């Protein structure tokens, strides 16, 4: 990049101070091939970060406006997959979802799209006439031979024109919530299994085949279930479960038993600095060290705590370097070894001779370094999603934009990484977080749904207050570490490593994770369907179950 071409970048960088959401525009520019000399922008990035702090001095103080979907339905986390005019003409269509059909814009929809039973058509008519609450859950079919269909949320848009927008529903049956749902509504075991089957998008025909029953029997069971619940259709059942799921998660985050919420602690080290950490669970349960991801922090939702308690585990969750006000002597890869020694000191002070480790995403290098250097203290590692070591040939092209540009720049312009997280924090505080989250998780429907869960939103709000308590060094360190080749800690391991991988993980694509595990002899679980980068929030039962299998020597 020529020096005179830096002027627009400088202008765009300073514009972030007034409008933090313009960070996304700058990211787009900086990720393009040829942007080689961003180191010339170092001082400008530092200046903008300082300006952001002066303009918005509430670093770590107020994330009460955190809500991924505050920017409205049309710009929500889930994009419109199909839009129809009132005359049922296609205005917009996602070719990936409808790839089995020949549907296109300005085309009238075929009869098979809405199904032959008339249920979807009736729902749409009520929406248009204003007789049905918006959004409604409907089933659309992908071609004339499709007898299963896909669930969509249908919503009116376009003012007086009353266009119909359809968004795919990625709702899945959750074991904990599903059990509470069945218990509350007094469902039999068969009815609970049928409800789970339908919520997961499968058909009555498949349910009958799975159980080895006649189709007529399964249909009668469905009629009995709907009659018991006082509803008239399968989509009503989906809506009922979705509403129960949201209410359950909200109550979970709001009305937890105070005795079950984790307790915060701070360990003073020999050099006078502090190691903050959280503890969850019964003091007599088996200890497990949990190393957190960037935006999750060391906090656990009630759902995660229940999953750990079900395995009789006590979770020790130290905050990573520079989080929650902690200080470190080093930066980059050198921080990892320094932090591992702090973990050993923590175990000594808690009287823990040996335990296993769970790492989430970007915490992978810390977990790997710990088991390599101290196999006598750590008996195994479960990685709930992982970053991958970045060698010199890695251009991060496999990552979403929100990761790709910051990581590449972390090597040559660390001050930009601080600017990136300063702007992102300001966006979140101002209720403008959607562009930031979409840049990272937008390609994973599973992750976007998870970010909208009330318990996850509440956890991330609390976490960001602690994360940015003293500035942006913690997230800058994570970006620098993620952009580094930390494979040296993957060799000569004497304890087992299990990697849990999601099929929708855009931080570590499944094909690359499989090669990583094959190269180092790690046990791979997955890729798990409907699981993305946020596996620690999506399948905590599986993760803590795997950790419980690792027994101290």
pLDDT in tens, 471-481: 677 777 777 77
pLDDT value for 57: 47
Tell me the range of 161-175, 366-380, 381-395 where mean pLDDT is highest: 366-380
pLDDT value for 300: 93
Q: Decide if 501 contacts 527 (C-beta within 8 A).
A: yes
Residues 6 or more apart whose Cβ sits within 8 Å of residue 202:
148
What's the whole-number mean pLDDT along residues 451-477?
78
Q: Which of 61-65, 145-149, 368-372 shows the lowest mean pLDDT across its residues?
A: 61-65
H-state helical runs in 255-332: 302-310
Nearest to 508 by CA among 391, 390, 418: 390
pLDDT value for 33: 45
3 state SS of 56: coil
Question: Model confidence at 315, in pLDDT bands (50, 70, 90)?
Answer: very high
CA dihedral for 154, 158, 159, 164, sign (positive or negative): negative
pLDDT at 307 over 80: yes
Cα distance between residue 59 and residue 52, in whole Å = 10
pLDDT value for 327: 85
pLDDT at 147 over 80: no
Identify which has the larger pLDDT, 160 or 359. 359
Which strand (E) or helix (H) includes residue 523? strand 523-528
pLDDT value for 251: 53
pLDDT at 26 over 70: no
What's the whole-number mean pLDDT along residues 266-286?
88
Q: Which of 59-68, 83-92, 340-349 shows the lowest mean pLDDT across its residues?
A: 59-68
Strand-strand pairing, 90-93 and 82-84: antiparallel
Residues β-bridged to residue 357: 289, 381
CA dihedral for 210, 216, 221, 225, sign (positive or negative): positive
pLDDT value for 78: 55
H-state helical runs in 185-268: 189-199, 204-211, 215-229, 234-254
Strand-strand pairing, 263-268 and 274-280: antiparallel
What's the whole-number mean pLDDT along residues 39-43?
58
Question: Model confidence at 452, in pLDDT bands (50, 70, 90)?
Answer: confident
pLDDT in tens, 379-423: 999 999 898 887 654 556 656 555 666 666 665 566 666 667 777
Residues β-bridged to residue 499: 383, 524
pLDDT at 151 over 90: no
The structure tokens 């469905």 sit at 222
pTM confidence score = 0.63
Cα distance between residue 151 and residue 364, in whole Å = 36
Which strand (E) or helix (H) includes residue 42? helix 42-55
Q: 263: burial class by Cβ within 10 Å (0-12, 13-18, 19+)?
A: exposed
Cα distance between residue 408 and residue 393, in whole Å = 12
Cα distance between residue 497 and residue 523, in whole Å = 6
State residue 169 phi and psi, 5-degree precision: -105, 125
- Kindly provide the b/e burial profile for residues 341-361, where b requires at least 16 CB atoms within 10 angstroms of the residue's own CB: ebbeebbeeeebebbbbbbbb
Average pLDDT, the chain: 78
pLDDT at 437 over 70: yes
What's the whole-number mean pLDDT along residues 3-30?
54
pLDDT value for 133: 56
Cα distance between residue 224 and residue 248, in whole Å = 25
Question: Model confidence at 81, in pLDDT bands (50, 70, 90)?
Answer: confident
Percentage of the chain exceeding pLDDT 90: 27
Which strand (E) or helix (H) includes residue 335? helix 333-350
Nearest to 505 by CA among 493, 516, 521: 516
CA dihedral for 539, 543, 546, 551, sign (positive or negative): negative
Residues 6 or more apart whose Cβ sits within 8 Å of residue 408:
30, 31, 395, 396, 483
Identify which has the larger pLDDT, 124 or 53. 124
pLDDT value for 525: 95
Cα distance between residue 409 and residue 361, in whole Å = 20
pLDDT in tens, 187-242: 898 999 999 888 887 778 888 888 888 989 999 999 999 888 877 777 778 777 87
Q: Decide if 498 contacts 353 (C-beta within 8 A).
A: no
**Residues across the chain:** 553
Identify which has the larger pLDDT, 43 or 515. 515
Instruction: Name the packing angle between helices 434-441 and 414-429 (round to 10°).
Output: 130
- Kindly provide the b/e burial profile for residues 62-87, where b requires at least 16 CB atoms within 10 angstroms of the residue's own CB: ebeebbbbebeeeebbbbbbbbbeee
Percentage of the chain exceeding pLDDT 70: 71
Nearest to 398 by CA among 479, 480, 509: 509
pLDDT value for 523: 96
Q: Is the peptide bond before 527 cis (omega within 30 degrees of 0)?
A: yes
Q: Is the peptide bond before 213 cis (omega within 30 degrees of 0)?
A: no
Identify which has the larger pLDDT, 403 or 106. 106
- Kindly provide the b/e burial profile for residues 475-499, where b requires at least 16 CB atoms within 10 angstroms of the residue's own CB: bbbbbbbbbbebbebbeebebbbbb
pLDDT at 292 over 90: yes
């Amino acid at each position: 990049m020529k020096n005179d071409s830096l002027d627009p970048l400088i202008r765009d960088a300073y514009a972030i101070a007034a409008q933090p959401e313009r960070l996304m525009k700058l990211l787009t520019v900086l990720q393009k091939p040829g942007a080689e000399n961003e180191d010339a922008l170092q001082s400008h990035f530092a200046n903008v970060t300082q300006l952001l702090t002066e303009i918005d001095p509430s670093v770590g103080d107020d994330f009460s406006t955190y809500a991924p979907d505050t920017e409205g339905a049309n710009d929500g986390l889930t994009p419109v997959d199909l839009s129809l005019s009132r005359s049922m003409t296609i205005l917009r269509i996602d070719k990936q979802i409808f790839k089995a059909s020949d549907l296109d814009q300005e085309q009238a929809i075929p009869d098979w799209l809405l199904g032959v039973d008339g249920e979807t058509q009736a729902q749409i008519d009520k929406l248009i006439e204003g007789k049905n609450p918006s959004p409604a859950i409907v089933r659309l079919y992908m071609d004339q031979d499709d007898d299963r269909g896909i669930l969509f949320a249908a919503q009116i848009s376009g003012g007086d024109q009353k266009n119909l927008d359809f968004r795919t529903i990625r709702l899945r049956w959750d074991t904990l919530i599903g059990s509470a749902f069945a218990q509350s509504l007094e469902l039999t075991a068969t009815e609970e299994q049928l409800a789970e089957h339908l919520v997961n998008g499968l058909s009555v025909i498949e349910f009958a085949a799975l159980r080895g029953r006649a189709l007529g029997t399964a249909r009668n069971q469905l009629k009995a279930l709907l009659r018991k619940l006082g509803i008239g259709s399968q989509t009503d059942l989906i809506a009922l479960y979705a509403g129960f799921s949201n209410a359950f998660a909200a109550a979970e985050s709001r009305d937890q038993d105070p005795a079950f919420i984790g307790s915060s602690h701070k360990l003073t080290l020999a050099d006078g600095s502090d190691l903050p950490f959280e503890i969850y669970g019964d003091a007599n349960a088996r200890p497990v060290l949990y190393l957190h991801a960037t935006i999750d922090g060391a906090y656990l939702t009630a759902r995660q705590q229940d999953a750990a308690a079900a395995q009789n585990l006590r979770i020790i969750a130290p905050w990573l370097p520079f989080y929650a006000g902690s200080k470190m002597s080093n930066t980059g890869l050198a921080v990892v070894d320094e932090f591992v020694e702090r973990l050993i000191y923590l175990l000594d002070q808690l009287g823990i001779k040996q335990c296993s480790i769970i790492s989430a995403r970007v915490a992978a290098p810390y977990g790997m370094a710990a088991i390599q250097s101290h196999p006598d203290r750590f008996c195994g590692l479960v990685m709930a999603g992982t970053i991958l070591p970045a060698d010199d040939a890695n251009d991060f092209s496999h990552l979403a934009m929100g990761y790709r540009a910051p990581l590449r720049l972390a090597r040559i312009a660390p001050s930009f990484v601080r600017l990136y997280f300063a702007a992102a924090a300001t966006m979140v505080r101002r209720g403008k977080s959607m562009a930031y989250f979409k840049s990272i998780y937008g390609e994973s429907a599973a992750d976007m749904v998870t970010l909208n869960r009330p318990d996850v939103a509440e956890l991330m709000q609390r976490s960001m207050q602690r994360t940015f308590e003293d500035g942006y060094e913690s997230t800058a360190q994570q970006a620098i570490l993620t952009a580094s080749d930390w494979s040296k800690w993957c060799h000569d391991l004497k304890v087992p490593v299990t990697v849990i991988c999601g099929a929708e993980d855009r931080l570590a694509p499944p094909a690359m994770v499989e090669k990583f595990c094959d190269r180092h002899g790690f046990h791979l679980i997955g890729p798990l369907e409907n699981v993305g980068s946020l596996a620690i929030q999506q399948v905590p039962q599986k993760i803590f179950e795997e950790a419980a299998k690792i027994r101290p020597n």
